[in-house]
Amino acid sequence: MSSFGNSVVRRRTLLATAAGALVAPMFAGRAHAAVPRVYIDPGHGGTDPGAVGNGLQEKSLTLDISLQLRNILQANWSVDVRMSRTTDITRSLTYRTDDANAWGANLFVSVHINSGGGTGFESYRYPTSDSATVSLHNALHPRVLSGMRSIGTVTDRGQKTANFHVLRETTMPAVLTESLFIDTVADANLLKRADFITAVARGHAQGIAAYLGLGTTPPAYSTIVDNATAGRFTASTNWSTSAYSAQRYGTEYRFANPVLASDAAWFKVNIPQAGNYRIDVWNPADPGYNSAAPHVVVTASGNQTVNVDQRTGGGGWRSIGTFNLAAGDRDLVGVSRWTNATGYVIADAVRVTRV
């Protein structure tokens, strides 16, 4: 997203209202919920590519950062996360703010990439923001910048204010970040690095955690493996892929009919050190899904099986227990089709956290 030259018109079109007057934001002033609700807004998407340059598209970069941000938050802190989009689809500005407001988010972060020939990182809040929004801005900006600078040299363009739709029409503290300039070669070279994108996502996560009072140091070890994680999930061709349920984790999930035979879908996890780990699973739920889907955990003392009722409780993490695990990188959690219960067996995502 650009703030220079003709792009000023584009920014106003995309982020501001046609009305000329500034409207004071209606912050709800709510206390943080027992489990804080974090709304992440990957800028642009679908028919709107955002800024483009040096072989990059803003919409793809913002989605990559935002998905990693969500994963880091959910793997390391007790928060609920909702996103305006998790795939390359078109979302209006009104949809984004209405969705966040209706969900009752505790904070809103809109992720963007800049353009216009400049360089560096800047972030925005609404001009007449309340103290909670200022606190979010103060927590987020330096941590994102620090993450970037752990990889390369980045100019700090400062904390700014603007009359952007997503900052004005949200009813909770809201900040918009602009992570480097897509049309500047040096910035684009950083944006092409996977470690830089991860550092940007981690900086956002640490800023959010600091604002919520969760601390910026995550637990010693926690990781999420999704069924779409490259090299970390295996399943036979009997397992089909679907994106039908909105309760899915990420972009898709796997499903298969039950059968009295061994045909598990496996999540591969690297356990850094022997010890006790909590294992959580995520799956969409439906009354027609399996009531006793076997989840096989490879523990230090042998396999243990936990049956999960996938008819209810979908769209969130639920623990299947704490297990003593040996160190090593291996297939750790398998979702088996071997059950007498009827209905599809679902394999979506697992989270492993040392306790």
> Could you list the active site residues?
178
Closest alpha carbon to 190 in 125, 116, 114, 109? 114
Structure tokens belonging to residue 134: 């200022």
Structure tokens belonging to residue 204: 């956002």
Q: Facing residues of 353 across strands?
A: 222, 278
Gyration radius of the chain's alpha carbons: 21
**Spacing of C-alpha 257 from chain mean position:** 30
Asked whether 113 and 182 are in contact (CB, 8 A), the reply is yes
Rounded-to-10 torsion of CA 231, 234, 236, 238: -110
Alpha helices in 6-48 (DSSP H): 7-15
Using the Cα atoms of residue 70, residue 12, residue 123 and residue 163 in order, give the sign of their dihedral.
negative
Asked whether 254 and 337 are in contact (CB, 8 A), the reply is no
